[in-house]
Amino acid sequence: MSDRAELVEAPFDELRVNGTKGNTPMSDTIRLLYIEDDTVDQKSFVKYIRTNKLSYELFLASSLAEGSQKTKENKFDLIVADYNLPDGTGLDIVKQVNKIPIIILTGEGEEIVAGKALKHGIADYVIKNTKGTHWESLVSSINGILQSRVVSNGEIKILIVEDDKLDQKAIARALDAHPQYRQTFAGTIKEAKEKLEETQFNLAFLDASLPDGTSAELFPLFKNIPFIVVTGAGSEEFAIRAYHEGAADYLIKDVDNFYLKLIPWTIAKTMKQREIQNLKEGFISTVSHEMRTPLAILDAGLANFKDGLYGKLTELQNKAIQTVYNNSKRLARIINDILDLSRLESGRGRTNRTMISIHEIVQKIINECVEAKANRVCLRMEAFKDLPKIWGDEEMIERLLTNLLSNACRFAKREVIVKGGVLGEGIQISVIDDGAGIPAEEQSRLFNKFEQLHRPKGGAGYKGTGLGLAICKEIVNLHEGQIGVESSEGSGARFWFILPKDLRKESKG
């Protein structure tokens, strides 16, 4: 099979995404081999790479034999292989390559297989899902595995986007005493994009105002690279907005050029923060994988007991097995929520925004709400008729509304109402339940991690993860919005959030 040029809208030869076609080497581009026989998954990964403008040089193979041949013809930084292949399993490639990290993709419910894969020497595994959100997890894993290669020989590669020649020279002089800092300058947004295609940087400095626009246009390109915004006095609003959209820090230019003295310190601080964040993410990833494997084995064994494979159980035994099974599922939810919250807090959950309809998202979630059916709660919408679209991340907003609606359904007696309306320059969504309410002294803790407030409810006994509302808060913060709750004992609760309608109107630096 060829490199599947026919699978994507634009033809490619040994697909070099967000770069130059052909066989000319690209400096610091990540070379990946993806072994997958499902053409739909191949197309989906290609689309994700192109949509997110990732600097990957991607080679495709549809079998172990073809993948093995490509490893003999090319040098790869990493291999991604589906577990189930026509001529074997993804584990077989481990025996054929040396010193190339391998990530295995498995289907949902195959955590036991994934755990087995880790013992065979693979670097990581990622569980596929039907929504395609596993691609983000895969890219995060790739970046984590290859992080040690980004900083080679102690060098830190810095992209400085600044059009003023005098400022360029001043910044260069400020960094002269630090030979480990390798500087690359760009004077326009266009030139910066070209530099990003050519080189994998460790850090970037972005001047707010450039000849062809504001540097906000570049923010989405730095999903995995820390960036620092530099802006003039009087443009603090732009700097603060940049900070909310993922900037590691910001500096304000001053007439005495004191900000230049802060540049080396700011770089050192940012790189140290990145190092700590990588350690944290590595720890969380390792612990989660180590926990998920035995949990999957436990679930499989409990399911066998429940299905009677080990003989008929008494009523008391059935009840005990069900209790253990429910708690193992809860622990799995906690692990997944910890990973999601960690990604949001670390900046890896930066938004992928488009114009979206809140009305359509709410309608979809109401139709799919399992908790409403399980708790026999009536759901209805109010005042959504003329609600404008907003500039937001659809997947994150779906998660936000799902968490709030599921939470309300668990505590409602009979009904949950979702209201929408325009409020100033934003829209406000409220999720209202007719439950027992929340005492005033407990409300300030609601959005903290691992908080479990004991609101009485018709379906008593439900145990959540204590992270759902903390995740909601992070999602709203990433959209520069607000979230809160209004409630009193005996009168239900109203959870609300406000999101700006459109943040694309850039402030000038």
Phi–psi pair at 131, nearest 5 degrees: -80, -15
Q: In the CATH scheme, what is the homologous superfamily, with its name and number, of domain 354-500? A: Histidine kinase-like ATPase, C-terminal domain (3.30.565.10)
Angle between helical axes of 468-478 and 394-411 (0-180°, round to 10): 150
Instruction: Check residue 13 and report its DSSP letter.
Output: S
Measured distance CA(486)–CA(432) in Å, rounded: 9
Phi–psi pair at 43, nearest 5 degrees: -60, -40
Q: What is the pLDDT along the chain (509 residues), one digit of tens a residue?
A: 334 333 333 334 344 444 333 333 334 578 899 999 999 999 999 988 888 878 788 999 999 999 999 998 888 989 999 988 999 888 888 878 877 888 889 886 666 666 566 556 677 778 888 777 788 888 877 876 775 444 445 688 999 999 999 889 888 888 876 778 889 999 999 999 999 888 889 899 999 999 999 998 898 888 778 999 998 877 778 888 788 777 888 898 887 777 887 888 888 888 888 888 777 777 776 776 677 777 778 888 888 888 888 888 888 998 899 888 888 887 877 777 777 777 676 655 566 788 889 888 988 888 887 777 777 888 888 877 778 888 888 888 998 999 999 888 888 888 989 999 888 888 999 999 998 888 888 887 888 876 766 544 444 445 566 788 888 998 998 888 899 999 988 888 999 999 987 755 443 33
Handedness of CA 308, 309, 314, 320 (dihedral sign): negative
Strand stretches in 21-111, DSSP E: 30-35, 56-61, 78-82, 84-85, 88-89, 102-106
Pair of tokens at residue 492: 């239900």
Handedness of CA 448, 454, 457, 463 (dihedral sign): positive
Q: Domain 5-150 maps to which CATH number in 1.10.10.10, 3.40.50.2300, 3.40.50.460, 3.40.190.10? A: 3.40.50.2300
Measured distance CA(191)–CA(194) in Å, rounded: 5
Residue 186's pLDDT is what? 95
CB neighbourhood size of 360 (10 A): 12
Measured distance CA(375)–CA(139) in Å, rounded: 38
Q: In sequence order, which residues have a C-beta less than 8 Å from that of residue 55 and are 6 or more positions away?
A: 17, 18, 19, 26, 28, 29, 30, 196, 197, 200
Kindly report the CATH number that applies to the domain delimited by 156-274. 3.40.50.2300
Measured distance CA(300)–CA(306) in Å, rounded: 10
pTM: 0.49
Residue 228's pLDDT is what? 93
Strands 482-487 and 102-106: unpaired
Instruction: Check residue 417 and report its DSSP letter.
Output: E
Apex CA 137: angle with CA 134 and CA 138, to 5°? 85
Q: First CA to last CA across the chain, in angstroms?
A: 51
**CB of 141 within 8 A of CB of 162?**
no
Report in angstroms the alpha-carbon separations of 503 from 125, 242, 243, 478. 37, 12, 14, 12
